[in-house]
């Protein structure tokens, strides 16, 4: 055995002993190399209507229209114009830019409408929501009045790694309510304009906790949002709606894809009495 080969073998033995050789433990047990373990992506599945877009109605105030991005800019898509809810382009761009996250859209609107609005929903880098979506599901794909998340991840997918952002509680399939990040329609109707900044912060908080505790994502998501009252009924934790830390966390993340991103001020005056108003006004200016 030549010196060179001997030293190489010895070096490899040392690496094995310290567990540093790639796949060393697997090699020792099975005598055949394996690919690195496949880490399943985290799926963020986003509803369309009243989650990222809202229809323009007769009663929609002019000042809201003036301060919002509208789809389409002129005319209508299948009879409607849409307000792009605050932070929707940034949220889609920011999550789809994470290496281990896939963003899908799942709407009970029909496919032609969904594709048309998603094509016009432009992200800060000029691509559309349709361009970056992993999958897009429409009424034709889910004729039952439920959104089965296995459609997105496949029947062997890991349901623990899916978060569905939706304003409807009813669309979750039995057993998948824990995957739902719910956007309640609040008493103050225009807060929903800011709901995606909060939802973004909540997703990030959930993922951070999942990473540090190794607990399933959907268990953490559930416990963040729901508690039981004295009669053991489930109650939504309303304090989330005014949790400044969630808005701050979301805002910082959204600014990562659009440094100019800010919360519009147009309706903040209406929230003047609430701590949400204080939270939003204190974080709205780009730093
Ligand atoms: Mg909806």
Give CA separation, 9 vs 22, 28, 29, 107, 117, in Å.
Answer: 15, 15, 19, 58, 61
pLDDT value for 230: 86
Instruction: Please tell me the distance between residue 25's alpha carbon and the centre of ligand 1 in angstroms.
Output: 48
What pLDDT, on the 0 to 100 scale, is given for residue 18? Answer: 42
- Measure 165 CA to ligand 1 centroid, in angstroms: 9
Range of the structural domain that residue 171 is part of: 42-283
Q: Which helix (H) or strand (E) holds 276?
A: helix 275-283
Look at residue 272 in the predicted model and tell me its pLDDT: 46
Confidence (pLDDT) at 174:
87
Determine the Cα angle at 278 with ends 254 and 245, to 5°.
45
Q: Which of 165, 146, 189 is nearest to 49 (CA)?
A: 165
Say if 25 falls within a structural domain.
no
My answer on whether omega of the bond before 72 falls inside 30° of 0, hence cis, is yes
Residue 272 lies inside a defined structural domain of this protein: yes
- In the structure encoding, which two tokens stand for residue 10, read together? 């010895």
pLDDT of residue 84: 93
The CA 108 to ligand 1 mean position distance, Å, reads 8
For ligand 1, the distance from its centroid to the CA atom of residue 183, given in whole angstroms, is 9
Q: 50 C-alpha vs ligand 1 centroid, how far in Å?
A: 5
Number of domains in the chain: 1
CA of 169 to the centre of ligand 1 (A): 9
State both tokens at 39. 């880490």
Between CA 159 and CA 157 the distance in angstroms is: 6
Domain harbouring 63, CATH code:
3.40.50.1000
The answer to whether residue 28 is domain-embedded is no
Angle at CA 51, nearest 5°, toward 237 and 145?
90
Residue 238 belongs to some domain of the structure: yes
For residue 49, the cross-strand partners are 53
Ordered per-residue pLDDT tens for the chain, 287 residues: 455 555 555 554 444 444 444 444 444 455 566 666 667 899 999 999 999 999 998 888 787 788 789 999 999 999 999 999 989 999 999 999 999 999 999 999 999 999 999 999 999 999 999 999 999 999 998 877 899 999 999 999 999 999 999 998 888 898 999 999 999 876 555 556 778 999 999 999 999 999 999 999 999 999 999 998 888 888 888 888 878 888 889 999 999 999 998 876 544 444 444 545 555 555 544 44
Ligand 1: distance of its center to the CA of 166 in Å? 6
Ligand 1 mean position, distance from CA 185 (Å): 10
Say if 7 falls within a structural domain: no
| Domain-located, residue 141 | yes
Gap from CA of 140 to ligand 1 centroid (Å)? 16
Residue 33 domain flag: no
- 221 lies in some domain: yes
DSSP letters, 137-196, are: E-TTT--SSSB-THHHH-TTS-GGGEEEEES-STTBPTT-GGGEEE----SSGGGGGGHH
pLDDT for position 142? 81
| Exposed/middle/buried for residue 17 (C-beta within 10 Å: 0-12, 13-18, 19+) | exposed
Whole-number Å distance between alpha carbons of 218 and 260: 32
Q: What angle do CA 44, 265, 54 make, to 5 degrees?
A: 45
SS3 annotation, 70-134: EECCCCCECCECEEECCCHHHHHHHHHCCCCEEEEEECCCCHHHHHHHHHHCECCCCCEHHHHCC
């Amino acid at each position: 055995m030549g010196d060179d080969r001997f030293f190489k073998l010895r070096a490899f033995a040392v690496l094995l002993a310290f567990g540093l050789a790639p796949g060393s433990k697997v090699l020792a047990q099975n005598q055949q190399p394996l690919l690195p373990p496949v880490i399943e992506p985290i799926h963020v599945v986003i509803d369309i209507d009243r989650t990222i877009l809202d229809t323009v109605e007769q009663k929609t105030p002019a000042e809201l229209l003036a301060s919002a991005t509208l789809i389409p800019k002129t005319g209508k898509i299948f009879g409607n114009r849409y307000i792009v809810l605050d932070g929707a382009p940034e949220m889609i761009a920011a999550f789809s830019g994470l290496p281990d996250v896939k963003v899908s859209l799942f709407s009970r609107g029909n496919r032609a409408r969904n594709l048309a609005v998603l094509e016009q929903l432009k992200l800060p880098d000029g691509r559309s929501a349709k361009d970056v979506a992993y999958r897009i599901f429409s009424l034709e794909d889910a004729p039952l009045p439920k959104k089965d998340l296995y459609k997105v991840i496949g029947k062997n997918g890991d349901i623990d790694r899916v978060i569905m952002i939706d304003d409807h509680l009813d669309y979750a399939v039995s057993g998948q309510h824990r995957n739902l990040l719910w956007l309640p329609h609040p008493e103050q109707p225009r807060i929903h304009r800011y709901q995606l900044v909060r939802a973004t912060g909540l997703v990030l908080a959930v993922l951070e906790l999942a990473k540090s505790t190794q607990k399933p994502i959907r268990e953490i998501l559930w416990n963040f949002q729901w508690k039981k009252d004295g009669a053991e009924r489930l109650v939504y934790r309303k304090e989330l709606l005014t949790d400044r830390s969630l808005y701050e966390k979301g805002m910082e993340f959204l600014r990562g894809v659009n440094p100019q991103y800010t919360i519009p001020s147009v309706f903040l005056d209406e929230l003047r009495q609430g701590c949400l108003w204080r939270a939003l006004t204190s974080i709205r200016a780009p730093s």
